[in-house]
Chains A and B, each alone.
Chain A
Amino acid sequence: MSATPHSDYRAQLETLWEHDALKIVAVIGAIYLIYAAIGLVLGYSLDGIINTLRRMTYLIAVYGMVTLALNLHWGYTGLFNIGIAGFMAIGLYATMMLAKPADPSGAAQYSGLGLPVPIAIVGGVVIAGLAGLVVALPALRLRADYFAITTIAFAEIVRLGVTSGALQEFTVLGAELGTGGGRGLIRNYGDPMNAIFELGAFSSFVDLTNSLFGFGPTQARALAYSIVLVLVLAGFYWLIQRTSRSPFGRVLKAIREDEEAAQSLGKNTNRFKIKVFVLGCALMGLAGILWRFRRTGVTPTAFRPHVTFYIWIALIIGGAGSNTGSVLGSGLFVAILFEGPQYLRRVIDQVVAVDDAPNTFAGAVGPLLSADPAPLVRYTFDEFLTLQFVIMGVALILLMQRRPEGLLGHREETAAAIPLGSRPSGAGTGGSGGGGSRGGGNSSGGNSNDTGDDPGTGVDHNRTHGHSNSASTDAPDHDHDIEPRTTTDATSETSETSETNETTHTGGEKP
């Protein structure tokens, strides 16, 4: 404890805050606490509260995954993808068509390929990635804004395609498949999570949740599902963190900053853009699969464009370019904008018994003439779900005006496989002005030395001077300088630099 324990404590907290994992745990934990506290105050049952938190976890995990994939596209590479819902739909639909039994029995409509669920999931991810490739090949030649239009058009083509009667049932290479049109597809195969649920250890998990929260088997399964999703989210985070902190990620960042300059520095930017777009689309496909593959079926309405914009809101809240921000943004989006209004509605409903609302807008506004706002308030309350969109819109506008960089977007996420910062080795410890070390430097040029303002000694100066200018002045000493370009060959370069090193170092040691 120092003289100022308060500031000391604060500094400690601030260093703690620097850890990404802690940030996520703190923010999500705070969200859980608030929700749990409200539940407790209102006297909800324990299993009800846990169930609310489980649902939140599920949503945060799924939105987190897609937001991370979008961060790879937009935050790192600057690819304006507003067709997210389309890639999610392709992943899920493909998986279901691959997994559905080959011969439909009874009323179970369309047939599939009858593949095992894990293979079907891999297939769905691959197909989503291939869809990304199909979009990327022609579209990446377009300017950013036209590219965006292409992606949303693609997503709508996908949605209308699976809705249309034309693809309701079709045959590919002798296999009968179908999207089910507007009615969607029914999952007439086992729970995809059965591989886990049928484990021996799982029954003890069921018992545990039963004794802790009074959960039934269904709730226990849902809880396990959410936990699996959190693990997958961690995998997404790890993958994208690795991708962005690497030479690959560095090129992505460079494309975002100035693609033409990146090209002039020798980077085949199109190739990088295609790779990263395909990777992101495949991840979006996987998230789409995990989002809804346990449900009894899928309908095209789940993939309307607003899904895409939810993801964008989450990314903007967290800050584009930050993986931690992407997860945090998803947490805050789900807690405040997505689940918040509905939770609030339930709370209000319970605390104050709200009268029946008028059926029409006219019925709500009319009484205002007689200075009675109550019907309007009740009407508004009744339409809370619709109001949610308004709230989201307002939140988005406020964010863009007040904090366009989001929570963590301003932060530096180094694009290198190793931590940068101060010089790693002791090579730079030469003379005060760097005169001693400079000679050993610049392996691209061989013998490069300063000619003018060397702060070193006269000895040092003379030697380096003679060496570096040998091409023009005292060539006889250095035959190879006659053919300067050959000195940049790998072998001669090494000998060259080491020679120079020696010269300058001995020079630096005797001032």
Chain B
Amino acid sequence: MSDSSANVRSAETGTNIDTGTDTESVSRPATEYSDDVELAVNRLGKRFGGITAVDGASFTVESGSMTGLIGPNGAGKSTTFNCITGIHQPDAGTVTFQGRDITGINPYECVDYGLVRTFQIAREMANMTVLENLMLPAKHQQGEALWRSVMPVARREVEQQERELLERVWDTLEFFEIEHIAEEKAGTLSGGQRKLLEMARALMTEPEMLLLDEPFAGVNPTLEKKLLEHIHELRADGYTFLIVEHDMDLIMDNCEHVIVMHQGSVLAEGVPGQITSNERVIEAYLGGEV
């Protein structure tokens, strides 16, 4: 059933992309942004009762980039994340991913588009093993249709697909160097292992862009270094990253593009050097420290 919905979507995409060619070429369908924009947020607005959490935020994330989203507490970073990934319905504005309008989609649809998020506090499936956790997210699993999992002949195909999936899971485990915890229940892992699992799990959806919500919060320096290594490796493979983070130095050292949010809107956007010298940013966020 999940694959049928994906089929529909790719069909839509096909008609969208018709104007250009589907590989390496430049032309993406009509947006005001150029082709190398992966994610575009335009005048996004979200209110909770009387509080305006996001107030006309606009920014773009370039394909294959590692972009940092920073801002003081309450700046609307998490709400922006939630609006992009469909957890909240935005009240205003649009979200465009690879030229397709994804404003207000359901959270589970993001993955079909190639967009996946992680959570600030790792949300592993505590009573499932690491292997089970990693087998869950894969797309187009035939066995997610109940009848295929039950009927004798159809199940053989399901089992075949499971074997292939398990192979991929082990590859991902090896990439993150956590093979040794494969059969542990996720709830027994250490905080750092959970962060790795969370990222591995997101990767299992075969995304093109990852939204990481404070991936380094509560992570010790050694693991932080390791996580960063993995992220850089993945970025070199063509993944796009948007990272919400509080650690300024970390963002400045690792991201080529930084977005600063303040009171629900974007205060400044640019390369780290520009940001650290931007007086409004210093005033609003850095408190004149830098």
Chain A interface (Cβ < 8 Å from any Cβ of B): 239, 242-243, 246-251, 253-254, 256-258, 260-269, 271-272, 275, 279, 321, 412, 414-418, 420-421, 423-425, 427-428, 434, 437-438, 440-452, 468-472, 480-481, 483-489
Asked if residues B1 and A420 are in contact (CB atoms below 8 Å), the reply is: no
User: Is B284's beta carbon under 8 Å from chain A?
Assistant: no
Which residue in B24, B127, B177, B233 is a CB contact (below 8 Å) of A434?
B177
Between B106, B143, B202, the greatest number of chain A beta carbons within 10 A of the residue's beta carbon is seen for: B143
User: Can you name the residue of chain A whose Cβ is closest to the Cβ of B207?
Assistant: A444
The residues of A that contact B208 with a CB separation of less than 8 Å are 485, 488
Which residue in B132, B167, B177, B238 is a CB contact (below 8 Å) of A484?
B238
Bits for B91-108, please: 1 = Cβ < 8 Å to A, else 0. 000000000000000111
In Å, the complex CA distance between A118 and B239 comes to: 57
User: Can you name the residue of chain A whose Cβ is closest to the Cβ of B130?
Assistant: A420
Between B2, B87, B112, B119, the greatest number of chain A beta carbons within 10 A of the residue's beta carbon is seen for: B2
Across the A-B interface, give the 5 residue pairs with the lowest CB-CB distance, nearest first: A484-B238, A266-B111, A441-B171, A246-B149, A247-B143
Q: Which of B140-155 contact A (CB under 8 A)?
A: 141-146, 149-150, 155
Asked if residues B149 and A239 are in contact (CB atoms below 8 Å), the reply is: no
Contact A265-B129, Cβ < 8 Å, known A260-B123, A416-B162, A418-B159 = no
Asked if residues A253 and B137 are in contact (CB atoms below 8 Å), the reply is: no
Contact A443-B136, Cβ < 8 Å, known A242-B155, A421-B183, A471-B236 = no
Contact A268-B106, Cβ < 8 Å, known A257-B128, A441-B174, A444-B204 = yes
Which residue in B142, B144, B146, B174 is a CB contact (below 8 Å) of A279?
B146
In Å, the complex CA distance between A415 and B131 comes to: 10
Asked if residues A254 and B144 are in contact (CB atoms below 8 Å), the reply is: no
Task: Tally inter-chain residue pairs, CB-CB below 8 A.
Answer: 221
Asked if residues A416 and B132 are in contact (CB atoms below 8 Å), the reply is: yes
In Å, the complex CA distance between A119 and B237 comes to: 59
Between A258, A269, A483, the greatest number of chain B beta carbons within 10 A of the residue's beta carbon is seen for: A483
Which residue in A250, A437, A487 is a CB contact (below 8 Å) of B132?
A250
The residues of A that contact B162 with a CB separation of less than 8 Å are 247, 416-418
User: Can you name the residue of chain A whose Cβ is closest to the Cβ of B208?
Assistant: A485
In Å, the complex CA distance between A183 and B87 comes to: 51
User: Is B277's beta carbon under 8 Å from chain A?
Assistant: no
Asked if residues A424 and B163 are in contact (CB atoms below 8 Å), the reply is: yes
User: Is B135's beta carbon under 8 Å from chain A?
Assistant: yes
Q: List 27 A-B contacts (CB under 8 A).
A: A247-B141, A248-B149, A251-B136, A253-B128, A258-B123, A258-B124, A264-B87, A264-B108, A264-B110, A264-B116, A265-B136, A266-B108, A266-B116, A267-B2, A268-B5, A269-B108, A271-B1, A416-B131, A434-B177, A440-B171, A442-B168, A444-B204, A446-B237, A448-B234, A471-B64, A472-B236, A480-B24
Contact A420-B166, Cβ < 8 Å, known A251-B144, A253-B132, A441-B175 = yes
In Å, the complex CA distance between A483 and B183 comes to: 37
Chain B interface (Cβ < 8 Å from any Cβ of A): 1-2, 5, 23-24, 63-64, 85, 87, 106-112, 116-117, 119, 123-129, 131-132, 135-137, 139, 141-146, 149-150, 155, 158-159, 162-163, 166-168, 170-172, 174-175, 177, 179, 183, 185, 201-208, 229, 232-234, 236-239
The residues of A that contact B236 with a CB separation of less than 8 Å are 468-472
Contact A253-B127, Cβ < 8 Å, known A416-B162, A424-B163 = yes
The residues of B that contact A253 with a CB separation of less than 8 Å are 125, 127-128, 132
Q: Given A246-B150, A266-B116, A321-B127, 12 more contacts at CB 8 Å?
A: A243-B150, A247-B149, A247-B162, A250-B136, A262-B136, A268-B108, A423-B170, A434-B179, A445-B203, A483-B24, A484-B64, A489-B23
In Å, the complex CA distance between A451 and B116 comes to: 25
Asked if residues A248 and B239 are in contact (CB atoms below 8 Å), the reply is: no
The residues of A that contact B137 with a CB separation of less than 8 Å are 265-266
User: Can you name the residue of chain A whose Cβ is closest to the Cβ of B25?
Assistant: A483
Asked if residues B206 and A488 are in contact (CB atoms below 8 Å), the reply is: yes
Contact A438-B175, Cβ < 8 Å, known A425-B167, A471-B236 = yes
In Å, the complex CA distance between A446 and B238 comes to: 9
Min CB–CB distance B196 → chain A (angstroms): 14
In Å, the complex CA distance between A447 and B125 comes to: 29
The residues of A that contact B107 with a CB separation of less than 8 Å are 260, 263-264
User: Can you name the residue of chain B whose Cβ is closest to the Cβ of A479?
Assistant: B24
In Å, the complex CA distance between A181 and B275 comes to: 77
Min CB–CB distance B223 → chain A (angstroms): 14
In Å, the complex CA distance between A247 and B132 comes to: 9
Which residue in B136, B149, B171, B234 is a CB contact (below 8 Å) of A254?
B136
